Structure 1
């Protein structure tokens, strides 16, 4: 009897070859990389540094991938890793071009600067659309009260 699972399995990586990336992790990266990069470019205007920060965040996410998948909200945990990595790169780059913003201000950045709608933001940060819409309203009201 032939085991069809063995016939379609890929061989293990050879010496010097990178290990195979889980399909779900590759899909996660494909989905989130453009949005993560757009966010990083707001904080790190140098495109190479922004791309490096996103790559570093994905490397950290990869290290914790199985653990993240077992959590209640993998996307939210991955977003926190990205935020932390970008923040670290911002501090290393010297005096920030803009002051560090709280998490709700990041939503405003994703909406007004990156151009994402509330459902897309919810998808990126791992929350629901209603929460994003409410937090965006609060941020806008807080900013308007300072005018």
Structure 2
């Protein structure tokens, strides 16, 4: 269950039902990812809420795209990077695939299986599994 309603806390009450459902589905996983970067739960929650606000601004276009989940994930990643390093360049908005580091975090730190990760980042399960194998071969200090 979501502890903070995105609609209630971010002024998104007028958003379509599809957006509310998307937020409800993805918020727990997004929050788990953000907690890796922002160890304080309140700070992580603010970053996720900020990402959802950004997503809300482009929701009709995102929903009409071929992969709304992948675009939403990139918005979250960009928001995390921007908040973590406010004076540096944000992550590229439309990388062809999620970074190995993100997948490793979602798998080894957050505890998601490859199909769950694929659902969160908007990728194919086989691709995620292959990238996880590649990430496992790398030294953890490289993540």
RMSD: 2.0
Query: Does the alignment pair 1:53 with 2:51?
Result: no
Aligned equivalents of 2:79, 2:13: Cα separation in 1: 24
Other structure's SS at 2:66 match: coil
Which residue, 61, 68, 80 being the options, matches 2:74? Answer: 80
- Cα distance between partner residues in 1 of 2:20 and 2:83: 24
2:56 counterpart (62, 74, 81): 62
Runs of 4+ in 1 over 4 A off after TM superposition: none
In 2 relative to 1, CA 19–37 (structure 1 residues): closer, same or farther, beyond 3 Å? Answer: closer
Q: TM-score, normalised by structure 2?
A: 0.79
Structure-2 residue corresponding to 1:128: 124
1:139 to 124, 135, 140: 135
Match of 1:8 in 2: none
Give the drift of 1:20. Answer: 1.8
What is the total number of aligned residue pairs between the two structures? 121
Partner of 1:11: none
CA spacing shift, 1:49–1:142, aligned 2, 3 Å: same
Gaps of 5+ in 1: 1-16, 94-101
Taking structure 1 as the reference length, what is the TM-score of the superposition? 0.77
Please, which runs of 5 or more residues in structure 2 have no aligned partner? 1-10, 88-97
Encode CA deviations 1:55-112: one digit per residue, 9 max, x unaligned.
000000010000001111000000000000011111149xxxxxxxx81111000000
